[in-house]
Each structure stands twice: as C-alpha cells, then as structure tokens.
C-alpha cells in the first residue's frame, strides 16, 4: 500500500524559490504544481516557466551523483570508486590539515557561483580555517551594484516597480523574460499593459525590449557615456528635482560641470544611440515621478566601465529624486534575523589573515581595507555589509597562484554550486590550474566538467531535498524559501552537512552548534520572533518598507538622519572615492580597440530560458526546445559574413575560438552575442572531451587578467570584447 501525501516545498532552479506543492509517494516526488498560497502568491507567475515542471526528473535523473566518489585513475580519466561519506570526510580533512601545515591556511581556495545554495556555511568554515581565498563571480555579478550604491547612498538600494505607483521604468542591461521568468517579469508585463512608459537599454532587442516604449540599442561597453548623456539633458533642461538636490545631494555643481561635454550628438557618436532618443529617454525618466531604474548583469561585466556606469545610474536616481520613494526605490534595512556577516563569523577572522589576501589589498574597494573604509560609513546607521562576499578573492590571481605559487602556493580547492571551467573567464588557464592541484573537491548534482577533474565528488542534496532560505546576504530585511519535501535520495547530503563535518574534524567543534541545516535556519530566524514552521507556511518574511528615512529626526542629535556617507547626503561627487585616489565623478574608460583582425564586438553573458547559466543541459525536454548554442547578430552583420539563421560559425578572440549557431536578431550591427554556459553532458565525462567543454564554451573566448581589471572591484570585460567570426562550411 503506497504512502501518498502532498507537501509544501519550493523550486530551486533559479534564485526565486517559487512555492510548489509536491505530491509524494513512498518518499519520492512524483509531481509538482504551483502553490498560490505562498510566495510569490500567484500561480500565473510560474505559468511560462518550464523549469519547475522538471523537478521529479531532476530528482532522479540517471546522471545524478548519488554516492561519494573518489578518483582512482589519472585526474580526468573518468575512473571512480564509490566510497562512504565517513571515508570521504576523513580523507579530505586529513589532506586539508596536511596542506595547511605545509603551506599555511591560504593554500585552500573555494569557488562558488550563482544562488544555488546558501554560502554562509562555506564562509564560516573558511573564516575558522584561516583562509581569505573564498572566490566566486562577485566581481561581475552583484558586488559592483552593492558596493557602488552603498558608497553613494550609505547602503544598498532595492528598486521597486509597482503598476499602481510607478510612472516610468528604465531597465538597463536586464532581460527577465529569459533570465528568470519571475515575479519581476510578470510585473513588467502588467506595467506595460497599463500603458506606462518603459525604456530599455540593451544592444539586443530582447523580449523585454520588445515591450519598451523606447529601446536604446547601446554599443557594448559604452553604457557610462549614455548614462552621462541622460544626465546632461536632465541638468541642461533643468528637469532634475531642485528641492531634493539642494537639500540631499552633495556635489551637484561639480556634476553639472562634469556632464557638460556629454551632449546628445557626442553620445550618439560614441554609443550609437540616436541623439533624439537620448533626449526622449531623459525627458521621459525625469518627467515621470516616481520612476524606477533597474540594472542587471549586463553592466556588471563592463570591466573598467562597470563602476562608472553604476555610479552614473545611482546619480540618475538621485538628481530625479527617486531615492527612498514609494514606487521608485527604498534604501534597505539590516535584517531583523541574524545577518550574514554574523553567520559567517567575520568578526573572528584575524587581522594577519586579512592582510594575507591574495591581492594584497591592491583592489581599492573589494578588499579588506576597502571594506573597513565602507563599514566606517555604514556604521553611522548601525549597518554592516557581508564581509566575505565583498572581499572575495580575484579569480585570476587564484588560478595563477595554483600554477606559479605567487604570492603563495594555492594547492587545494573546494567547489560548491559552481563550475568554474564553464562560468569563469579564461577556460584554458583554469584547466591548467585545476589539473595542477594536490586536492580538488566538488560538491555537485551532476558530473560537470569541473567535477570530472576532481579527486572527490560529493553528492549534494538539491531541489526538494533540503530547506531553503534566501536572504540577499544580509543586505535587506527579507527572507524567502521553505522546508524540504523529502529526505535526500540515496546518499545525497545538504552542503551544510559537509562544511560542519569537515569543521568538526578540524577542531571547529564550538562553532558548529546546530546539527542540521534546518536547526541552523531556525536559530538564525529566532531574533525576528519567527518560528521555522510559521516561516514555511508563507515562504516569506519581509517587514514593511519604510520611506523618506533620511528625513527622520535623530532623538539624540535633534537632526535629520540623512545618509550614511561622509557628507551625510547622497554623494554625486564621491568623497569616498576621492580619498581612494579614484574618480570622484563617473568617468568612462577607453574601450578595447577593434582592428582589421578582430572587427566585431562580443557579448558573452547571454542566457536563454529554460537553461539557468550552465545548469540543466542534461534534460532532454530542454535540449529539444533549445538544442544548439546561439550566436546572435543583426541581419546586416550576418549578410556581411554570408550567414543565415541556423548557419554554423566559429567565434574567435585572441584567447581562443568556439562554435555556435547563428541566430538573426534585431540588435546593434557588428556585435555578436554568444550564449553562456554551454556544454554537452551526453559526451564522455572524461578527458579529452570533458563533456564537450572545448566546443561551445563562451569562456574559451574571455580573459580576466588582474592587471587590466577595474582597480576598485576587479571586474573584467565580458561585454565589449573584440572578436571575429567565420562560417563553418
């Protein structure tokens, strides 16, 4: 007789963790459906998403890793031995301890990726182990916006798009139609149906751009010039919010002088956006109040032009008065629950370990010294940003240290929820670095190309098999998620189990008081007065947003709270950056020059539903819907090279070349946009194929040399590289 029941759980195929009801028979998920009683509270939001429907298939996919595996052949040979968790943990702990004794704690690096799991247990372990070398993709995803907005406003800002309140939406380098199909995309569609203006800035006319009142097809990498051009028009035509600027903005006179040369005609010559459209966009955004401005990963990947773009967008919000206003944005608050910085035990990280960071604090902002400078400002409002995210090591320096031992040998790596061979720049360098290691451990769902090179592959619990609680890393007072639906299949374990067990074996007994991940989440929620069961009933904890907080009177000083900056105002002219000997006003940097050999511009970060970055290429339904990796280009560009829809082609940079299938799209001419994260799991999971790693991987084309990265955060260029293409006959 079967044991059948329905359990509330959540999807985990992207960062939104939408609520589902799971039908369970004898401990196995046989079917899922949206649950409108919990976040996001509307099953129509999930109707267009294809990912959540595949939950039962992913849970018991024939390629899933179900047991701990130990390499028994040469690295990459594909020869494995099934072992127990106890053996794996004992051996890994012993090897880590031996490497630490030989080289010091810095010899261990970790790699994380997108929001597939919770990262504070990893950061907690690294703090206690003594290594500053946690690494991820923060330099080109999330960190730039968090850091720039914190230095400009005194704390990160959350944007709002409310169809009843918002009067104009400016969407810059973001395409939720493909990247998530979430509540955000649902809201944009509703906003469009209301007939309110939408401005989209993107080199491609994406599905989001097709809803736009005004599409601004900016040439890749010229975004800060366009943003400064909008400011030029707004200031010249006196469209800015005079009262707000006078009372709450610092450095307007310097800004006015700075943007004087960014005329619409100049902007058109640099960016390709028509001068009249620059004027239209500026008038629309400044003329409708409140207006919201969202940006995405597109501008996080401009290398030295990432910070100038984020700064210019932050200033656009400020001069139009769209800061801490309902329908535009709100300055976030610290969580009521235990924040990320405390869960990762950053206060216990010793000073000598901070000084031993691999960049030696050469990055002015994403470094321990930069973090402390910024913290001294945010603490004016008793706020603390997460430390380990915002000081994460520059990947290029990690890979080089594995190969050359400078500034010290990095001989081991633990990879969790990431696949650096596919998702980090310069695949050839990463391959050589990983092959050189003494110890490589990968926690995974499937045998990814990186996992194929590991010494140990450990089976991670995935969707429905572990509790979930996403918290924006402690930068906002929000948590969403829910409980697991089933016990992990086979011998899979939550990531938390791995970090705790390794920590216990290495003497960290007192710092891991919670035996299970659920217990840890219960404890972290307790200061907010919320029980775990109550949280799971709604899938959301979120305090009401408060606005105009800068006007609140401080009872001790009798003065308005203002902003947590050096001036107490929004820093149009940044005193903070001036003290770092960096540009106090957003100043665009020169772009890589095109040449006769590489005459085209390349974008390498495009994503397409239903895949999620490099994930879920194993699913036959997804491959049927989207069987080949695309290289998008305009019809004029395609004709120039004798290409049609479906033509096969090579895309080549100075770093290497990869093959794609041409897709004709409405977009800027002489620009190629290649799909990110592509591999072929049906190919051999061993050398030399490594799951088709070398065929269509966008990161074969990229580089992230530390010396040419942005000096503040370390961002490298993914959007705006020089390339060439060739038809495959």
Going from N- to C-terminal start, the domains of the chain cover 4-59, 69-142+338-542, 157-331, 600-727
Q: Count how many residues are written for the chain.
A: 729
Strands 168-172 and 291-295: parallel
Rounded (5°) CA angle 23-28-33:
25
Confidence of residue 292 (pLDDT cuts 50, 70, 90): very high
> Model confidence over 59-87: pLDDT tens digits?
999 999 999 999 999 999 999 999 999 99
Confidence of residue 180 (pLDDT cuts 50, 70, 90): low
User: Which CATH code fits 600-727?
Assistant: 2.40.40.20
Average pLDDT over residues 676-695: 97
Query: What is the H or E stretch that residue 110 is in?
Result: strand 108-111
Average pLDDT over residues 267-287: 98
SS3 350: coil
Query: For residues 641 and 661, what is the distance between their CA atoms, to the nearest angstrom?
Result: 13
> Model confidence over 360-403: pLDDT tens digits?
989 999 999 999 999 999 999 999 999 999 999 999 999 999 99
Is the separation of the CB atoms in 134 and 126 below 8 Å? yes
The stretches of 405-508 forming alpha helices (DSSP H) are 420-423, 427-435, 495-505
Can you give the pLDDT at residue 115?
Answer: 61
Lowest mean pLDDT, pick from 13-17, 115-119, 186-190, 208-212: 115-119
Query: For residues 352 and 661, what is the distance between their CA atoms, to the nearest angstrom?
Result: 51
CATH architecture of the domain with residue range 69-142+338-542: 3-Layer(aba) Sandwich (3.40)
User: Which CATH code fits 4-59?
Assistant: 2.20.25
* Torsion, CA 328, CA 385, CA 421, CA 97, rounded to 10: -160
pLDDT surpasses 60 at 576: yes
pLDDT surpasses 90 at 47: no
Class for domain 157-331, per CATH?
Answer: alpha beta
Query: What is the H or E stretch that residue 523 is in?
Result: helix 517-525
Q: How far is CA 571 from CA 150, 248, 412, in A?
A: 10, 9, 42
Query: For residues 58 and 46, what is the distance between their CA atoms, to the nearest angstrom?
Result: 18
Query: For residues 665 and 646, what is the distance between their CA atoms, to the nearest angstrom?
Result: 12
The stretches of 237-350 forming alpha helices (DSSP H) are 242-248, 252-259, 264-271, 275-287, 297-300, 306-319, 340-343
pLDDT surpasses 90 at 155: yes
Average pLDDT over residues 326-340: 97
pLDDT surpasses 70 at 116: no
Can you give the pLDDT at residue 181?
Answer: 62
Query: What is the H or E stretch that residue 56 is in?
Result: helix 55-59
Is the separation of the CB atoms in 492 and 445 below 8 Å? no
pTM of this structure = 0.97
- Token readout for 390 is 């915002």
The stretches of 288-350 forming alpha helices (DSSP H) are 297-300, 306-319, 340-343
Mean pLDDT estimate for the chain: 96
Can you give the pLDDT at residue 2?
Answer: 63
Can you give the pLDDT at residue 592?
Answer: 78
pLDDT surpasses 90 at 719: yes
pLDDT surpasses 60 at 1: no
């Amino acid at each position: 007789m079967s044991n059948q029941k329905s359990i509330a759980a959540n999807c985990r195929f992207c960062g939104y963790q939408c609520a589902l009801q799971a039908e369970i028979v004898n401990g196995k998920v046989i079917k899922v459906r949206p649950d409108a009683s919990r976040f996001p509270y509307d099953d129509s939001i999930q109707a267009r998403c294809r990912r959540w429907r595949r939950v039962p298939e992913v849970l018991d996919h024939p390629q899933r890793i179900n047991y701990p595996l130990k390499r028994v052949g040469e690295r990459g040979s594909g020869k494995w031995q099934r072992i127990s968790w106890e053996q794996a943990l004992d051996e890994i702990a012993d090897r880590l301890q031996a490497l630490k004794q030989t080289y010091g704690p810095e010899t261990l690096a970790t790699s994380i990726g997108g929001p597939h799991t919770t990262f504070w247990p990893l950061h907690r372990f690294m703090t206690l182990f003594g290594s500053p070398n946690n690494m991820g993709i923060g330099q080109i995803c999330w960190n730039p916006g968090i850091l720039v907005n914190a230095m400009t406003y005194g704390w990160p800002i959350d944007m709002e798009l409310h169809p009843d309140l918002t009067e104009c939406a400016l969407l810059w380098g973001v395409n939720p139609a493909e990247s998530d199909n979430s509540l955000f995309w649902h809201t944009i569609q509703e906003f469009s149906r209301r007939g309110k203006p939408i401005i989209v800035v993107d080199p491609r006319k994406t599905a989001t751009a097709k809803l736009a009142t005004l599409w601004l097809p900016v040439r890749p990498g010229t975004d800060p010039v366009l943003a400064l051009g909008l400011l030029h028009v707004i200031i010249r035509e006196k469209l800015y919010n005079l009262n707000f600027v006078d009372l709450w903005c610092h450095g307007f006179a310097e800004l006015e002088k700075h943007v004087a040369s960014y005329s619409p005609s100049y902007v058109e010559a640099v960016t390709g956006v028509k001068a009249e459209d620059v004027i239209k966009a500026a008038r629309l955004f400044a003329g409708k109040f409140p207006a919201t401005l969202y940006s995405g990963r597109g501008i996080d990947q401009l290398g030295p032009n990432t910070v100038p773009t984020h700064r210019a967008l932050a200033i656009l919000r400020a001069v139009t008065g769209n800061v801490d206003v309902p329908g535009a944005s709100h300055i976030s608050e610290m969580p009521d629950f235990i924040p990320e910085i405390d869960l990762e035990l950053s206060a216990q990280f010793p000073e000598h370990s901070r000084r031993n960071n691999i960049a030696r604090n050469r990055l002015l902002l994403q470094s321990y010294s930069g973090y402390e400078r910024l913290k001294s400002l945010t603490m004016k409002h008793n706020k603390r940003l997460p430390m380990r995210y915002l000081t994460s090591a520059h990947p290029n320096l990690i890979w080089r240290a594995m190969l050359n031992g400078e500034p010290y040998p990095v001989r081991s790596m633990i990879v969790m929820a990431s696949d650096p061979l596919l998702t980090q720049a310069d695949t050839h360098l990463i391959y050589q670095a990983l092959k050189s290691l003494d110890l490589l451990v990968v926690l995974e769902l499937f045998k990814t190309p990186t996992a194929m090179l590991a010494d140990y592959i450990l089976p991670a619990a995935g969707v429905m098999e572990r509790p979930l609680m996403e918290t924006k890393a402690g930068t906002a007072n929000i948590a969403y998620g829910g409980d697991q639906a089933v016990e992990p299949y086979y011998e899979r374990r939550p990531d938390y189990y791995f970090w705790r067990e390794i920590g216990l074996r290495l003497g960290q007994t007192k710092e891991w008081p919670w035996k299970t991940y659920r217990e840890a989440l219960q404890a972290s929620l307790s200061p907010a007065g919320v029980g775990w069961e109550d949280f799971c009933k709604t899938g959301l904890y979120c305090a009401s947003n408060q606005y105009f907080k800068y006007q609140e009177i401080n009872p001790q000083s009798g003065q308005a709270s203002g902003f947590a900056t050096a001036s107490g105002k929004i820093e149009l002219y940044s005193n903070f950056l001036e003290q770092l000997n960096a540009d106090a006003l957003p100043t665009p940097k020169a772009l890589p020059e095109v040449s006769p050999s590489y005459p085209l511009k390349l974008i390498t970060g495009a994503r397409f539903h239903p895949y999620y970055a490099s994930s879920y290429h194993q699913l036959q339904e997804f491959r049927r819907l989207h069987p080949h990796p695309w290289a998008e280009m305009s019809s004029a560009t395609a004709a120039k090279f004798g290409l049609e829809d479906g033509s096969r082609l090579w895309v080549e940079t100075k770093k290497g070349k990869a093959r794609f299938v041409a897709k004709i799209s409405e977009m800027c001419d002489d620009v190629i946009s290649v799909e990110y994260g592509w591999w072929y799991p049906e190919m051999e999971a061993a050398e030399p194929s490594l799951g088709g790693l070398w065929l269509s991987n966008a990161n074969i084309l990229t580089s992230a040399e530390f010396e040419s990265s942005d000096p503040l955060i370390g961002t490298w260029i993914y959007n705006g590289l020089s390339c060439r293409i060739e038809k495959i006959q």
